[in-house]
């Protein structure tokens, strides 16, 4: 006597049949063909949140769903599957992340201790013969046990009766779940993954007077996660998130390079908790093993200031040293304020590369520097290099110990001279910065200094065109 199905199940099957749905059997496979939407939120530190929405045909009650084409670097403990159609009564029982991908070597390893068919082809007649063997080992080579002997290597080609369930051709999340109603369901799988990252890159161009610049920002996206993300809604989070680190090594992949540009107005910014969120205003595709660029921001005519800086050391204020250096390099800095109508947005951490046009109108690279996350209204300061035409000779002219019997009550007085030389056809101003330890007092100086901080003295020294200027000072330091 046949057992009757429950009336509720019969009704569900009838509804599915009337709607033209194929009622799934045990073991449902969902691929990218089921996808209804994809969203990516990528963080600075090799981390991304993936939201993969699909429409999947489920049976009532127990289902085993194989969700294919997920990231190979998924953190399975973060995976969460939701039923957007019928949340009530939908619950998960178990999930397994199968990331052991099908290769000839992996297939052979899975058959250790099991039988395979060894197929040989006669070299002249072409006739094939089959013989059964057991795989004993695959470490450093293959060891096969036949009925009457043991051989190493593969004497022909191997035939396998099937592929183990845990060996898949793409990373797959296998989920056992209870579903309240039969039919198509709108599901969303969200998870964190490694292998997706982004960084900001900036290109700036100085005007001829070095007092204004044009700034363009780019987002460089890199996908080494082992999956593709077509037509994804893309968001980027800039900020320093605290993360619990694990020791699990992450697989590496070879990165193929590709680039694509977009309109800068398409990236919109907003605050998110204590970070900043940037949203691309159109879907984009991030292919596997691809690097892509999209525009982040653009600003023209930003006021800028160029500065020449000669910075000293504090060690020579407590000892006798004499000459401190000849042809010392003078650093070149450019700074601008992140404010105003043309700028004034949070700038993510990245590298700013500076260009300037030569006399023929060609943009030439003149230096680069890295900036940290920079809020609105903060100053961006870049060191672009050292000036070719500016040098300095520096020496200690006098040194004496005035008092003290131990290293905690010494009093020293010393004098210094810096000769700044300018080979440019125009006059320049060089900032001289001297860090000083202890309790210090300026005894004498050739021009007034400013105390920028408790341990820093600064002078603005004007150096004539193709000329030189001398700065001298005497200081008393008490430790």
Altogether, the residues listed in the chain come to a count of 479
What is the pLDDT at residue 332? 97
- In the chain, what are the domain boundaries? 7-30+52-100+168-193, 104-159, 196-302, 303-478
- How many Å apart are CA 449 and CA 474, to the nearest integer? 12
Please give the C-alpha separations between residue 320 and each of 161, 167, 409, 415, 479, in angstroms, as whole numbers.
85, 73, 18, 10, 16
User: Phi and psi at residue 242, in whole multiples of 5°?
Assistant: -80, 130
Q: How confident is the model at residue 99 (pLDDT cuts 50, 70, 90)?
A: confident
CA-based nearest residue to 418, from 400, 436, 431: 431
pLDDT of residue 259 exceeding 60: no
Do 71 and 34 meet the contact criterion of CB atoms below 8 Å apart?
A: no
CA-based nearest residue to 427, from 468, 387, 386: 468
What is the pLDDT at residue 266? 56
In the beta sheet, which residues pair with residue 382? Answer: 334
The C-alpha angle with vertex 253 and arms to 247 and 257, in degrees rounded to 5, equals 135
For the purposes of burial, counting CB atoms within 10 Å of the CB of 12, is it exposed (0-12), middle (13-18) or buried (19 or more)?
Answer: buried
pLDDT of residue 13 exceeding 70: no
- How many Å apart are CA 171 and CA 79, to the nearest integer? 14
DSSP secondary structure letter of residue 250:
P
Do 313 and 396 meet the contact criterion of CB atoms below 8 Å apart?
A: no
Higher pLDDT, residue 229 or 256: 229
- How many Å apart are CA 356 and CA 55, to the nearest integer? 53
Mean pLDDT of 333-340: 94
Tokens 């998924």 correspond to: 74
Q: Tens digit of pLDDT for each residue in 281-313?
A: 889 999 999 999 998 889 999 999 999 999 999
| HEC profile of 11-68 | HHHHHHHHCCCCCCCCCEEECHHHEEEEEEEEECCCEEEEEEEEEEEECCEEEEEEEE
What is the pLDDT at residue 249? 44
Q: Tens digit of pLDDT for each residue in 370-386?
A: 999 999 999 999 999 99
In this structure, which topology does domain 104-159 adopt according to CATH?
A: SH3 type barrels. (2.30.30)
Q: Tens digit of pLDDT for each residue in 147-204?
A: 999 999 888 899 999 888 777 777 889 999 999 989 999 999 999 999 999 999 999 9
DSSP 173-227: EEEEEEESS-EEEEEEEEEEESSEEEEEEEEEEE-TTSSEEEEEEEEEEEE-SSS
What is the pLDDT at residue 23? 39
What is the pLDDT at residue 277? 84
Q: How confident is the model at residue 267 (pLDDT cuts 50, 70, 90)?
A: low
What is the pLDDT at residue 240? 67
In the beta sheet, which residues pair with residue 277? Answer: 237, 270
What is the pLDDT at residue 124? 86
- How many Å apart are CA 71 and CA 288, to the nearest integer? 10
């Amino acid at each position: 006597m046949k057992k009757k199905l429950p009336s509720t199940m019969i009704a569900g099957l009838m509804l599915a049949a009337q709607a033209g749905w194929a009622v799934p059997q045990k073991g449902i496979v969902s691929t990218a063909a089921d996808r209804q939407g994809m969203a990516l939120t990528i963080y600075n530190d090799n981390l991304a949140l993936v939201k993969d929405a699909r429409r999947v045909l489920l049976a009532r009650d127990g289902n085993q769903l194989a969700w294919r084409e997920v990231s190979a670097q998924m953190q399975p403990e973060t995976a969460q599957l939701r039923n957007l159609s019928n949340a009530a009564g939908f619950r998960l029982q178990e999930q397994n992340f199968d990331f052991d991908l099908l290769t000839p070597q992996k297939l052979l390893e899975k058959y250790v201790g099991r039988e395979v068919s060894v197929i040989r082809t006669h070299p002249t007649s072409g006739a094939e013969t089959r013989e059964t063997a057991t795989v004993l080992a695959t470490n450093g080579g293959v060891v096969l046990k036949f009925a009457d002997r043991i051989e190493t290597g593969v004497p022909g080609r191997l035939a396998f009766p099937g592929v183990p369930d845990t060996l898949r051709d793409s990373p797959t999340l296998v989920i056992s779940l209870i579903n309240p109603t039969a039919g198509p369901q709108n599901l969303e799988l969200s998870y964190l993954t490694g292998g997706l990252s982004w960084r900001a890159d900036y290109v700036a161009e100085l005007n001829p007077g070095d007092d204004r610049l044009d700034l363009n920002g780019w987002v460089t996206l890199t996908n080494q996660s082992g999956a593709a993300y077509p037509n994804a809604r893309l968001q980027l989070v800039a900020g320093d998130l605290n993360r619990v680190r694990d020791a699990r090594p992450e697989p590496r992949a070879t990165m193929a390079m590709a680039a694509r540009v977009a309109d800068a107005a398409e990236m919109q910014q907003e605050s998110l908790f204590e970070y900043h969120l940037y949203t691309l205003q159109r879907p984009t595709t991030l292919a596997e093993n691809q690097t892509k660029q999209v525009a982040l921001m653009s600003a023209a005519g930003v006021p800028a200031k160029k500065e020449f800086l000669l910075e000293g050391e504090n060690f020579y204020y407590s000892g006798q040293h004499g000459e401190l250096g000849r042809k010392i390099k003078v650093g070149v800095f450019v700074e601008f304020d992140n404010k105003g109508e043309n700028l004034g947005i949070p700038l993510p951490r990245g590298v700013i590369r500076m260009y300037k046009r030569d006399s023929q109108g060609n943009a030439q690279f003149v230096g680069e520097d890295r900036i940290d996350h920079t809020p609105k209204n903060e100053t961006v300061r870049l060191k672009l290099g050292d000036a070719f035409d500016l040098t300095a000779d520096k020496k200690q002219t006098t040194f004496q110990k005035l008092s003290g019997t131990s290293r905690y009550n010494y009093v020293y007085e010393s004098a210094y001279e810096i000769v700044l030389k300018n080979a440019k056809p125009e006059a320049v101003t060089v900032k001289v910065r001297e860090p000083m330890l202890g309790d210090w007092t300026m005894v004498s100086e050739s021009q007034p200094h400013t105390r920028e901080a408790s341990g820093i003295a600064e002078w603005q020294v004007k150096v004539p065109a193709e000329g030189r200027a001398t700065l001298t000072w005497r200081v008393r330091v008490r430790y």
